[in-house]
Amino acid sequence: MDKFLIHGPTRLEGSVSNVTAKNAVLPILAACLLTEEPCVIRDVPQLEDVSTMARLLRSMGVKTELRRRTMKITAGEKVERTATYDIVRKMRASYYVLGPLLGRFGDARVSLPGGCAIGPRPVDLHLKGIAALGAEVKLEHGYIHAKGRPLRGGTMVLEGTSGPSVGATANTMMAAALARGETVIEAAACEPEVIDLANFLIAMGAKIEGHGTPVIRIKGVKRLHGADYRPIPDRVEAGTLAVAAAITHGNLEINGCEPEHLTAVIDRLRQAGATVETGKRRLVVNAERRPGPVNVATAPYPGFPTDLQAQFTALLATGLGTSVVTENVFESRFLHVLELNRMGAKIDINGRMAVIQGVERLSGAQVMASDLRASAALVLAAIAARGDTEIQRIYHLDRGYESLEKKLGDVGAKIERVSY
């Protein structure tokens, strides 16, 4: 097991490169199940979650080849239709195999993923979507067993209590690509990663319109073919790096990103007093002073992303005045606050709301990561804090950030990975 030892405070300055989006790559890898022909996915990030998805596909009889950052996936005729608990429990995104298995084979048996450290995330909308396509769905021994051949186009509304569901939109879209007739997904998720999945399916021969809007229309085709595809940049990593510049009063150029995917984050950074310049696939963030007070409320895209809430909370903890952060997407996504308070932050939690009294400087401490984005928040807090910080359970971080310690180290951070 590894931990980080971080010595602060440091000021980040220089240029960094963004990677391909984990949250786009994972459903795209699952979508390769929709054809027996090889698919080539380029610029695949070297992340634990990507390795887990590849391991799941191999356990189902799919051939995967990774050379440098290019992954070739071939799901031939003999594909196991079960996604076992041993793998699904490690990564909720494993559930993305449900739609393509059902769409291509008319049969899918996928373990229930359970809850996680940021609260329960029910699969009811996933099941609602595939049921609307005519699938028969049963819960058996902790597994969802869905059958339906042929699937037939239908109309469904995929909005839950926290807004449209990205996962349910993706799973339904993949299943519908091979269904008979037309499928209409209303209250569909509009996230860039959903658009990217739709574009990959179109590259495979699917007929999809409206992706990126609340109404997606899919006309089913008889078969899909292989495709060669490069997914979009990771907006969450780019946003994390932008907040890293702001919290250290630094100046960072972030290359290989899509600023249009970060409009809400850029707006809040500017409200906090940072200067943000945007260009073609680049951001430049310059922050010379403590951030001012900002109120943030997470929301589905194009609102402020829940996956950047923890990082922004760390930033506002070092700011002036009082800020309020409201988490509208996931329950229990304030576990990082307890650890930030150990570092001298003054944050009170009231339900889904965090009230932050900014302090001039955080101080180093021993802390423990609770989930992926909380890990990133603690790293940002530590590089801005006075003294030494030890962050345990950084295996969470490795799920979604590729060598973050090296990337930040190259622009001034003092981070050491230690095995213990």
With cut-offs at 50, 70 and 90, classify the pLDDT of residue 114: low
| pLDDT tens-digit readout, 194-238 | 999 999 999 999 999 999 999 999 999 999 999 999 999 999 999
Residue 113 has pLDDT above 80, yes or no: no
- pTM for the model stands at 0.96
Q: In whole angstroms, what is the distance from residue 357 CA to residue 18 CA?
A: 32
Cα dihedral sign, 35-36-37-43: positive
With cut-offs at 50, 70 and 90, classify the pLDDT of residue 393: very high
Q: Are 196 and 25 in contact (CB under 8 A)?
A: no
Residue 122 has pLDDT above 90, yes or no: no
Scanning 248-342, the segments in alpha helix (DSSP H) are 263-271, 309-317, 335-342
DSSP 288-311: -SPPPP-EEEB-STTSB-GGGHHH
Which one has a higher pLDDT value, 123 or 230?
A: 230
Which one has a higher pLDDT value, 140 or 247?
A: 247
Residue 118 has pLDDT above 50, yes or no: no
The residues annotated with a catalytic role in the active site are 116
With cut-offs at 50, 70 and 90, classify the pLDDT of residue 18: very high
Residue 303 has pLDDT above 50, yes or no: yes
Mean confidence (pLDDT) of the chain = 95
- Quick one: average pLDDT of 261-277? 98
Residue 417 has pLDDT above 70, yes or no: yes
Give, in order, the Cα–Cα distances in Å from 171 to each of 115, 125, 196, 236, 258: 19, 10, 14, 22, 25
- Quick one: average pLDDT of 55-72? 97
Q: According to the model, what pLDDT value does residue 226 have?
A: 98
Give the closest residue to 101 by CA, choosing from 56, 132, 48: 56
From 60-64, 283-287, 310-314, 368-372, the region with the lowest mean pLDDT: 368-372
Q: Which two tokens stand for residue 248?
A: 């250290």
| CATH no., domain 2-19+233-419 | 3.65.10.10
Rg (CA), the chain: 21
Q: According to the model, what pLDDT value does residue 326 have?
A: 97
Residue 117 has pLDDT above 70, yes or no: no
- Quick one: average pLDDT of 170-191? 98
| CATH 3.65.10.10 domain span(s) along the chain | 2-19+233-419, 22-229
- C-alpha dihedral, 124 to 174 to 151 to 84, nearest 10°: -60
Q: According to the model, what pLDDT value does residue 121 have?
A: 52
Residue 161 has pLDDT above 90, yes or no: no
From 49-63, 87-101, 384-398, the region with the lowest mean pLDDT: 87-101
Q: Which two tokens stand for residue 102?
A: 């059902």
Sheet strand arrangement including 275-279: 13-17, 251-255, 282-286, 275-279
Q: According to the model, what pLDDT value does residue 92 have?
A: 83
Percent of the chain scoring above 70 in pLDDT: 98
| pLDDT tens-digit readout, 329-367 | 987 789 999 999 999 999 999 999 999 999 999 999 999
For domain 22-229, the CATH architecture is Alpha-beta prism (3.65)
The DSSP call for residue 115 is -
